[in-house]
Structure 1
Amino acid sequence: MIHKLSLTARLTLFFTALSCLVLLSLGWLIGASIEAHFEEQDHHALSGKLELAQHIIERVNTEQDVARLADQLSEALVGHHDLAITILNNQQKILLASEAIEFPQTQLQQALKSAQKSPHQNVTPALFSWETKGEYYRGLIAIFATKNPAYGPITVAIATDIAHHQAFMASFRKTLWLFVLVAALLTGILAWLAAKRGLRPLSLMRDRAASITASKLDQRLSLDAVPPELAELATSLNQMLARLEEAFQRLSDFSSDLAHELRTPISNLMTQTQVSLSQARDADNYREILESNAEEYSRLASMIADMLFLAKAENGLSLVKVEAVDLVQEVNNLFEFYEALAEEKQIRLQLNLSDETSTIVPADRLMLRRALSNILSNALRYTAHGKSIQVQLQVQLWQHTQYCEIKICNPGPSIPAQHLPRLFERFYRADHARQHSDGEGSGLGLAIVKAIVDGHRGQITVSSENELTCFSILLPVGG
């Protein structure tokens, strides 16, 4: 199993590596600058000696001058123990060789070739370095013409021992590596302390979040104790906790309501069964008890079916068959279905439709009929005798999309405003004034309506004032 590094460890390693890289880059730059300075210093010193040798060689005119040339150059280098010089005549024979230094033959040949190509020009010699017998040297080679061409040209090779330079650079590199090592350790410790301190608010948020349980969902993270960079995270976590608290409360209420709804029919079934078994009865009594039990079973089956439908809707309602549905025809069909109940309660069902309204929408016919039926049955249940239920169809433009609005209004007891936002929750009832003693309805009808409307990418709202309750459904006209 791969062990993941903590954020503190990652920041520590990052800053340590970054500091090492910066120090090494700085050390390399300083080292290169020092090396370049040493080369420039050696080049300047060797060039000065070459100019001195050139001044002496250019005055050679006779054989006696050639014979005295070595002595003159030796005298010119007195006191410069770190310098070595080799002088060759025009036949490449050694006239003078101080110290037992062998100059690279390749460099000598290159100097001769350059002189042959430009016999009348002074070619600026290039500084070069080499190693011989474990010693390091840096030198220049130049070829000078004499006053008498018969005794020239003369090759002068001059070099200086750079052992002290090498020793200095070796010591510098050793010091640099030691400094980088110590700096890396110190940077790592400081980076760890800084990261630990900088991430302290995260640790506090973690401890605070760990203390939040199902019974303490009302707690929130303090925004005053976190830096601005973490304020948005803390705000998002607080919003998430608020959503969880709300969802948990709804789930708790739903569980309580569900237990209450199931307890009544089950209690009725148990009571009737126990009473029927308490003594012998005739066939008519048993038939009556069974019929009553069948009604309770039917109510339980309907409630379970509705709950399964809502459970599926939470994971995305599947529209089995989407087709072009004429809302006018569907509303009229529902009017015919509820005609007998409406006549019994002396309630009029009216459809208001303007001529320009487009009533064709893409929808699942059975699901849409179920949603409209649930709202219309609720309207019939709470509308007083002699009143009328109004159904209005019209086109609305909402968020740049054309919708067909189905508005169902019925007169009756108004729903308090504080109950309206929760009216589409499962088993939620506004108040006892809108419930009947006959126990009709399971409290799932409006929740099913909202699930169906959401599945059609529509919107549903409700308003209730002045003893008039209106449900408004917006369905997109386009597919």
Structure 2
Amino acid sequence: MQQLSLTARLTLFFTSLSCIVLLSLGWLIGASIDAHFKEQDHHALSGKLELAQHIIERVNSEQEVRNLADQLSDALVGHHDLAITILDKQGQVILASETVKFPAEYLQRARSQTSPTLFSWDANGDHYRGLVSVFTTKDPQYAPITVAIATDIAHHQEFMASFRKTLWLFVFVAAALTSVLAWFAASRGLRPLRIMRERAAKVTANKLDQRLPLESVPPELADLAQSLNQMLARLEEAFQRLSDFSSDLAHELRTPISNLMTQTQVSLSQARDAQSYREILESNAEEYSRLARMIADMLFLAKAENGLSLANVEAVDIVRELRDLFEFYEALADEKTIRFDLQIEQSNAASWVIRGDRLMLRRALSNILSNALRYTSEGNSIQVHLQQQTSCIELKICNPGSTIPAHHLSRLFERFYRVDHARQHADGEGSGLGLAIVKAIIDGHRGQISASSENQLTCFTIHLPQQN
């Protein structure tokens, strides 16, 4: 069954269902017809018994008992399908049809019954249905007299046999017709799935812009088509990010490696003194250090993609960490005459304590503050706001500077992404991984981070849950 196509399964299902319905309907009709025949026979036989009762109840002498055979025979003239047997009180036969012999058990059982019961039996390949009743006479000494009347039901049996044969033939034809119609309906009904399959078959790594038309699919498949479109959109975005990442990575590694190769080739081109070699090695060491930091950051982000594990979870005081970072960057800030302005909502000290990895959180806050220092012009201040919200802390770091265009904001946290590629490494700092690391750390703490920039003010907003 699992190897059958969906069309074949639906066809088989509807065909089986139609056969079951037709057979059930045929059985119901057959049972109704058979019950009707029984009721009809019972009504006819009961009428003949009433006629016999009317004649027998007037019997008042021995001669009238002997005349019963003639009277009842005359009463049944023209009813060739009826058979009758009459027994006197001693069980002697008064009248009996030559072709039909009533079962003795039914004749004996009639004396103990209060009302006649319809019964059936077979004799010599023929089928009969009859009634047996016991009547009294006008003179009690001649009673009781047993009367059994039966009718041949061969024509009923023939009709039912013909009906069953017709029913089986009709069921077979209907099943065949239903199979064809079910296959056609299932094939037409599943056509949108085939269209979806054909569209999906056209999707390749170079053609991820293909989408399934929602307007041409039935409502039952609309959710599936929409889910597939969303999946394709995610794949397209992921492939684009992977392509950009590969390009950026190649570009980031090419510059330091080219510098190392150039300096090495120049140093080997002619003999130099020990001091010259030392200077070249020191310059190379700086490039190696930068490569090592870049590789370490990439490894950190790779681990974060598979679920960032917090090595040392402890109580972290956000206010204390911010003040420590202000002291760390104090010399650089004084050099550029930049001030740190920390604004804390009035609350108790315990309100700014969360559960997390202190070193990771410090690294995330340090990256944001270093970026703020880098892009804040001299004489301005970096504003840090702390606000208590429901079950979380909101931390907002804002610095004045050039407004970042809106289309760049959603990609600020991507690896190697820079708003201005022309200025990268102009100051010898940064690899384009800082904000990506910040987002990975905040996500690892089940927090959220977003960026906004307008009116020459760029803000990074962080929400950190206060976990128990």
TM class by shorter-chain length? over 0.9
Counting only pairs closer than 5 Å after superposition, residues 180-329 of structure 1 correspond to structure 2 as: 180-329=171-320
Structure 2 Cα separation of the partners of residues 103 and 310 of structure 1: 100
TM-score between both structures, scaled by the size of structure 2: 0.95
Post-superposition CA distance 1:200-256 (Å, at most 9, x none) = 121111111111212111122223322333233222222222222122111111111
Q: 2:428 maps to which residue?
A: 439
Give the drift of 1:281.
Answer: 2.2
Q: 1:65 maps to which residue?
A: 64
Secondary structure (helix, strand or coil) at the match of 2:67 reads: helix
Structure 2 Cα separation of the partners of residues 133 and 335 of structure 1: 117
Structure 1 Cα separation of the partners of residues 263 and 126 of structure 2: 116
Post-superposition CA distance 1:414-439 (Å, at most 9, x none) = 22222111111111001147645133
Secondary structure (helix, strand or coil) at the match of 2:77 reads: coil
1:104–1:280 Cα change, 3 Å = farther
Structure 2 Cα separation of the partners of residues 109 and 475 of structure 1: 98
Q: 2:419 maps to which residue?
A: 430
Secondary structure (helix, strand or coil) at the match of 2:391 reads: strand
Match of 1:462 among 445, 451, 466: 451
Q: 1:359 maps to which residue?
A: 352
Amino acid at match of 1:349: F
Q: Is residue 386 of structure 2 the alignment partner of residue 393 of structure 1?
A: yes
Q: CA contact under 8 A between 1:127 and 1:140: conserved in structure 2?
A: yes
Give the drift of 1:381.
Answer: 1.5
Give the drift of 1:187.
Answer: 0.5
Q: 2:404 maps to which residue?
A: 415
Q: 1:119 maps to which residue?
A: none
Q: 2:441 maps to which residue?
A: 452
Q: Is residue 157 of structure 2 the alignment partner of residue 153 of structure 1?
A: no
Secondary structure (helix, strand or coil) at the match of 1:325 reads: strand
Q: 1:163 maps to which residue?
A: 154
Q: 1:378 maps to which residue?
A: 371
Q: 1:31 maps to which residue?
A: 30
Match of 1:130 among 121, 136, 141: 121
Amino acid at match of 1:99: E
Structure 1 Cα separation of the partners of residues 21 and 98 of structure 2: 44
Q: 2:393 maps to which residue?
A: 404
Post-superposition CA distance 1:100-126 (Å, at most 9, x none) = 433233322321112xxxxxxxx4312
Give the drift of 1:375.
Answer: 0.6
Give the drift of 1:38.
Answer: 1.0
Amino acid at match of 2:128: Y
Structure 2 Cα separation of the partners of residues 473 and 98 of structure 1: 109
Amino acid at match of 1:4: Q
Structure 1 Cα separation of the partners of residues 421 and 67 of structure 2: 133
434-443 or 322-331: bigger deviation: 434-443
Secondary structure (helix, strand or coil) at the match of 1:80 reads: coil
Give the drift of 1:32.
Answer: 1.2
Q: CA contact under 8 A between 1:382 and 1:434: conserved in structure 2?
A: no
Post-superposition CA distance 1:280-311 (Å, at most 9, x none) = 22222222222222211211111111111111
Q: 1:344 maps to which residue?
A: 335
Q: CA contact under 8 A between 1:325 and 1:361: conserved in structure 2?
A: yes
Amino acid at match of 1:429: R
Structure 2 Cα separation of the partners of residues 274 and 434 of structure 1: 28
Q: CA contact under 8 A between 2:110 and 2:134: conserved in structure 1?
A: yes
Q: Is residue 173 of structure 2 the alignment partner of residue 174 of structure 1?
A: no
Amino acid at match of 2:387: Q
Secondary structure (helix, strand or coil) at the match of 2:78 reads: coil
User: Identity percentage over the alignment?
Assistant: 76
Structure 1 Cα separation of the partners of residues 229 and 457 of structure 2: 39
Structure 1 Cα separation of the partners of residues 143 and 279 of structure 2: 144
Secondary structure (helix, strand or coil) at the match of 2:95 reads: strand
Structure 2 Cα separation of the partners of residues 464 and 190 of structure 1: 63
Secondary structure (helix, strand or coil) at the match of 2:384 reads: strand
Structure 2 Cα separation of the partners of residues 279 and 247 of structure 1: 49
Q: CA contact under 8 A between 1:393 and 1:406: conserved in structure 2?
A: yes
Structure 2 Cα separation of the partners of residues 218 and 43 of structure 1: 79
In the alignment, structure 2 segments of 5+ residues that lack a partner are none
Post-superposition CA distance 1:370-419 (Å, at most 9, x none) = 100111111122222333222222213xxxx3321222222222222221
Q: 1:112 maps to which residue?
A: 111
Structure 2 Cα separation of the partners of residues 434 and 471 of structure 1: 21
Structure 2 Cα separation of the partners of residues 197 and 465 of structure 1: 55
Q: 1:369 maps to which residue?
A: 362
Give the drift of 1:321.
Answer: 2.1
Q: CA contact under 8 A between 2:202 and 2:210: conserved in structure 1?
A: no
Q: Is residue 82 of structure 2 the alignment partner of residue 83 of structure 1?
A: yes
Give the drift of 1:368.
Answer: 0.4
Give the drift of 1:3.
Answer: 4.7
Post-superposition CA distance 1:53-89 (Å, at most 9, x none) = 1111111111111111122222222222211111111
Give the drift of 1:266.
Answer: 1.4
Give the drift of 1:474.
Answer: 1.2
Amino acid at match of 1:412: G
Structure 2 Cα separation of the partners of residues 212 and 317 of structure 1: 33
Q: CA contact under 8 A between 2:345 and 2:388: conserved in structure 1?
A: no
TM-score between both structures, scaled by the size of structure 1: 0.93
Post-superposition CA distance 1:341-389 (Å, at most 9, x none) = 2233332233222332621122211110110011111112222233322
Q: 1:120 maps to which residue?
A: none
Q: 2:321 maps to which residue?
A: 330
Secondary structure (helix, strand or coil) at the match of 2:214 reads: coil
